[in-house]
Amino acid sequence: MKPYRLDVISLFPQAFDGIVGFGVIGRAFESSLAEIVIHNPRDFSKDRHRKVDDEPYGGGAGMVLKPEPVYSAFEAIPLKGRRRTILLTPQGSKLVHSDLKRWASKYDQMILICGHYEGFDERIRALADEEISIGDFVLTGGEIPAMVIVNGLVRLIPGTVGSPESLLDESHSEGLLEHPHYTRPSEFRGMCVPDVLRSGDHAAISDWRQQERIRRTKLRRLDLYTAWKEKQNSEFMTKIDSPGFEHVDFRVGNGYDIHRLVSGRPLILGGVLLNHPEGLGLEGHSDADVLVHAVMDALLGALSLGDIGKYFPPEDSQWQGANSLSLLEKVVELTREHGWKLVNIDAVVVAERPKLKPHIDLMRSNLAQRLGVGIDAVGIKATTNETLGPEGREEGISTQAVALLVRE
| 404, pLDDT greater than 60 | yes
Please report, as a single letter, which amino acid is at residue 80.
K
Mean pLDDT, all residues of the chain:
91
DSSP 8-state symbol, 376: G
Angle, helices 143-154/97-106, rounded to nearest 10 degrees? 60
pLDDT digits (tens, 9 = 90+) for 148-177: 999 999 999 999 885 555 555 555 667 899
Q: What is the mean pLDDT of residues 200-216?
A: 90
pLDDT digits (tens, 9 = 90+) for 333-377: 999 999 899 999 999 999 999 999 999 999 999 999 999 999 999
Between CA 2 and CA 365 the distance in angstroms is 60
What does the pLDDT read at residue 49? 87
Cβ neighbours for 202, distance < 8 A, ≥ 6 positions apart: none
| 237, pLDDT greater than 70 | no
C-alpha count within 13 angstroms, C-beta hemisphere, residue 58: 2
pLDDT digits (tens, 9 = 90+) for 239-265: 544 444 445 578 999 999 999 999 999
Give me the CATH topology for the region 4-154. Answer: Alpha/beta knot (3.40.1280)
The whole model's pTM is what?
0.57
Rounded to 5 degrees, what are φ and ψ at 347? -135, 150
In the chain, where does the domain assigned CATH 3.40.1280.10 lie?
Answer: 4-154
What does the pLDDT read at residue 190? 92
pLDDT digits (tens, 9 = 90+) for 194-206: 999 999 999 889 9
> Which H/E stretch holds residue 340?
strand 340-350
What does the pLDDT read at residue 245? 44
Dihedral of alpha carbons 325, 328, 332, 334, sign: positive
pLDDT over 70 for what percent of the chain? Answer: 94
* Ramachandran bin of 367, using left for φ above 0, alpha for ψ from -120 to 50, beta for the remaining angles: alpha
Q: What is the mean pLDDT of residues 75-100?
A: 95
In the chain, where does the domain assigned CATH 1.10.1270.20 lie?
Answer: 176-182+197-237
| 394, pLDDT greater than 70 | yes
In the chain, where does the domain assigned CATH 3.30.1330.50 lie?
Answer: 248-407
From 12-26, 118-132, 280-294, the region with the lowest mean pLDDT? 12-26
What does the pLDDT read at residue 242? 44
Which of 76, 90, 78 has the alpha carbon at shortest distance from 40?
76
pLDDT over 90 for what percent of the chain? Answer: 78
What does the pLDDT read at residue 162? 59
User: 176-182+197-237, which class in CATH?
Assistant: mainly alpha
* Contact between 347 and 294 (Cβ < 8 Å): yes
What are the beta bridge partners of residue 346?
A: 379, 402
| 228, pLDDT greater than 50 | yes
Q: Which residues of 225-247 are buried (b: 16+ CB within 10 A; e: fewer)?
A: beebeeeeeeeeeeeeeeeeeee
Between CA 154 and CA 236 the distance in angstroms is 33
Q: How big is the CA angle at 358 (ends 262 and 348), to the nearest 5 degrees?
A: 65
Between CA 407 and CA 341 the distance in angstroms is 6
pLDDT confidence bin for 289, thresholds 50/70/90: very high
Rounded to 5 degrees, what are φ and ψ at 82? -70, 125
CATH of region 248-407, choose from 3.90.550.10, 3.40.640.10, 3.40.50.720, 3.30.1330.50: 3.30.1330.50
